[in-house]
Structure 1
Amino acid sequence: MQIAKATLSYFPLWAKGPASALALSHSNIPWSLNIPSDWATMKPLTQWSKLPILEITPSSGSSYKIGHEFAVLSHIGTLDPSLNPTPTDTVISNQLMCESDDIYAKLTKFQPTPKQREKCSPAELAALWTPSPEMNVHNREQGLHANLRLLDEFAASESSSPGSITTSGTSPGECKLYSTLRALAMIDGEVLSSYPALTDFYSKFGELEQTRSIVEGKQFHQYFIKP
C-alpha cells in the first residue's frame, strides 16, 4: 500500500503518543502530528474515546483511522516492514511493547502528574521506586525495577548488536521502550544505572537523528513528575 500521508493525533504530553511519533519518524511514512485544540468536542467522536489515533490516507482509496497505542504501533510496523524485517523481530517488538506498557500502567496508577499530584500514599510511591525488587511476589506488588530488570535481561539475551534489540534497532517495540524509559528518566535521571543493556539501548536510540527530531522538537512535554 502506498501511503499519501499519515496523521497522528495526540496531546502535547510525553505519555502514550511519543512512541507512535518515534515509530513514524523512523519509518518511511510521510506523517504529521495533530494536537487537538478542543479535546472535549473531539472525544465523543473517536472510536475508543481516547488518543492516540492514527489516520492513514492511502495514495488511492479511502482513508481509515486506528485507535489504541498497541494497534497504532503494530500497524506502523506493518506499513513499513523495514522496522520489523523478520518474524522474529516482530515477536521481540511485541514483547517490548507489552512489558513497556506494564511500566506505563504502574506510572499511571501511582506517579504524580501536574493535574494529579497525590495518587497514592508516600509509602506506595516509594515502593514503586524501590531499587531492589522482590521478583517472587505477585506482579501487582512489584515496583518499576522488576520490569526494568526483566527488560534488561531480555535486551541482553536478544540483542542483535550493541544498543539494538531487534535487527533494525528501531522496531515499534523499541520505540515504545525508549519512550517509556525516557518518561522514567525525566523523573529520575539515574533510573537505568543498574541496567547496562537498557543503558546501551537508551543511549544509542536517543542519539539517532529520527529520535532527536522528536525529543528536541519539544512537541511532547513531561507528564509524569516527582511528587
Structure 2
Amino acid sequence: KMRGSGLAEEMVSQQLYGEAEDIYQALARIKNKLWTPKESHDFWKKESSDPHAHNRTFGVHVYLDLLEKFCQKCGKAQDGRFTTSGCTVGECKLFASLHALVLIEPEVLAEYSGLAAFYKRFLDEKATQAILSGAKTGGPLAQYFTKPE
C-alpha cells in the first residue's frame, strides 16, 4: 500500500518524495536564514518564480505547478490521489510538505485543483487527523516553519 501497486506507482511515489523534500529544504533554508531576506520572500512570490532556473532556486509556485501537472498526468487528480492507494511514502511526504505550506499561507493551493483535492483528501483521513490532533503523538502537531520576516 505504501509502496504503490507496481513499478510505475513506486516511481510516482519516489518522484513525489523528491519534490516534497525539495520544498521542505527550501522552508528549512528560510527558517535557518540560509537564504537572504530577498531570496526568502521571492520563494513565496509567484512573479519571482523561474521554472527554467536550477531547482534549488525554485519558488513555491514552480514546485506547485510541476506537482499539479504531475497529478493531472497520473490520472487520479479528481480523486485527490497520485496512486491507487493514495498513501504511498511519497504521498505521505508530499502531504507533510504541503501541510507546512498551508500552515504558512492558507490559500497557497487555491490555483492548483489537483493538489488541493489531494491535500483535502489526505487531511480528512482518520490517520492524519489522529497525528495532527495529537491523539497518536501525545500532543497536537505545532507549526514549525513560518513566513520570512
**TM-score tier (shorter):** 0.7 to 0.9
Two-structure CA RMSD over aligned residues (Å): 1.6
Matches within 5 A, 1:21-40: none
Q: Which runs of 5+ in 2 are unaligned?
A: none
Distance 1:101 1:159 in 2: 23
Q: How many residues align?
A: 141
Asked if the contact 2:67–2:115 (Cα under 8 Å) also holds between the matched residues in 1, the reply is yes
For residue 159 of structure 1, what is the amino acid of its counterpart?
G
Question: Deviation at 1:105?
Answer: 1.1
Q: Quote the residue 1:135 is aligned against.
A: 51
For residue 202 of structure 1, what is the amino acid of its counterpart?
Y
SS at match of 1:220: coil
TM-score w.r.t. the length of structure 1 is 0.58
Question: Deviation at 1:219?
Answer: 4.4
Q: Quote the residue 2:7 is aligned against.
A: 87
For residue 83 of structure 2, what is the amino acid of its counterpart?
T
Asked if the contact 2:12–2:90 (Cα under 8 Å) also holds between the matched residues in 1, the reply is yes
Question: Is 2:121 the counterpart of 1:204?
Answer: yes
Question: Deviation at 1:88?
Answer: 1.6
For residue 68 of structure 2, what is the amino acid of its counterpart?
D
SS at match of 2:46: coil
Asked if the contact 2:133–2:141 (Cα under 8 Å) also holds between the matched residues in 1, the reply is no
Matches within 5 A, 1:1-12: none
For residue 138 of structure 1, what is the amino acid of its counterpart?
H
Q: Quote the residue 1:124 is aligned against.
A: 39
Higher Cα Rg: structure 1 or 2?
A: 1
Q: Quote the residue 1:157 is aligned against.
A: 73
Instruction: Report sequence identity in percent.
Output: 35
Distance 2:39 2:5 in 1: 41
Q: Quote the residue 2:83 is aligned against.
A: 166
SS at match of 1:210: helix
Q: Which runs of 5+ in 1 are unaligned?
A: 1-81
SS at match of 1:221: coil
TM-score w.r.t. the length of structure 2 is 0.86
SS at match of 2:73: helix
Question: Deviation at 1:220?
Answer: 2.9
Asked if the contact 2:44–2:60 (Cα under 8 Å) also holds between the matched residues in 1, the reply is yes
Distance 1:120 1:141 in 2: 10
Q: Quote the residue 2:96 is aligned against.
A: 179
Distance 2:68 2:143 in 1: 24
Q: Quote the residue 1:43 is aligned against.
A: none
Question: Deviation at 1:138?
Answer: 2.4
Corresponding residue to 1:108 among 16, 28, 47 = 28
Pick the structure with more helix per residue: 2
Question: Deviation at 1:85?
Answer: 2.4
